[in-house]
Amino acid sequence: MVVVATHIVQHPLAQHLLTELRNRETEPSRFRQLAWTLSTLLILEATSGVSLSSRLIETPLEPYEGQVLEHGLAIVPILRAGLSMLEPGLQLLPDVAVGYIGLERSHETAIASSYYCKLPNLSGRFTVLVDPMLATGGSAAQAATLLKFHGAEKLVMACVIAAPEGIGAFEKAHPDVPVFTAAVDRELNGQKYILPGLGDYGDRLYGTL
């Protein structure tokens, strides 16, 4: 199967917001604001492939054949940091179904274990998997497998930053799922944190440092 390319969002605003997120001086309240706006840009890009169909409507003056979304939409955050990308998705996407996947990564082994999974029927829906950090790729690959099991056929992933190792592992597991991100960073360190990265996204988001 041909590997779908990773899409790096090069919009100047996205790169500005990412730099502010990386800054260690950015306080949690400001971090949340930046994360919301950047997530909006990422989800807009990730849903650029949603198919359209024609619909005849009546404007106040005459009939008009317009374009509407052909399929339903769904957004699924990986808990907990993925919740930061949920609200922008709810604001952007019409009639969107929401699922949740809870995966916790061991700091010793870097292997994720599942503690929660609640998903709608995803059959026929364009589904966006969201998680800010694509580090080892293990959690994202596991989540994508769950989404496909629950009927997701048209599936994309949106993340704030990714490591080359995570991109490689995710593409190997799901070569048909494109990834949309603001940056692919240099590497992972020994503790599986992304370098240069921005630290622990969830801790910075919620002030649990």
What confidence tens digit (pLDDT) does each residue in 43-88 have? Answer: 999 999 999 999 999 999 999 999 999 989 999 999 888 999 999 9
Q: What is the pLDDT of residues 6-23, one digit of tens each?
A: 999 999 999 999 999 999
pLDDT value for 108: 64
Query: What's the pLDDT band for 206 if we cut at 50, 70, 90?
Result: confident
Catalytic residue among 55, 109, 186, 208, which? 109
Catalytic residue among 30, 55, 145, 203, which? 203
Q: What is the pLDDT of residues 184-204, one digit of tens each?
A: 999 999 988 999 999 999 889
DSSP output for 59-125: -SSSEEEEEEESSEEEEEEEETGGGGGHHHHHHHSTTEEE-EEEEEE-TTT--EEEEEEE----TTE
- In the annotation, is 125 catalytic? no
- In the annotation, is 109 catalytic? yes
Catalytic residue among 22, 37, 176, 200, which? 200
- In the annotation, is 59 catalytic? no
* pLDDT for 175 beyond 80: yes
Q: What is the pLDDT of residues 138-172, one digit of tens each?
A: 999 999 999 999 999 899 999 999 999 999 999 99
- In the annotation, is 176 catalytic? no
Q: What SS3 state is found at 200? A: coil
pLDDT value for 111: 64
> What pTM did the predictor assign?
0.91
Report all structural domains of the chain as residue ranges with CATH numbers, in order of start.
Answer: 7-49+71-206 (3.40.50.2020)
Residue pair 70/53 in contact by the 8 Å Cβ criterion: yes
pLDDT value for 112: 66
Residue pair 130/89 in contact by the 8 Å Cβ criterion: yes
pLDDT value for 51: 93
pLDDT value for 183: 97
* Strands 72-79 and 179-184, sheet pairing: unpaired
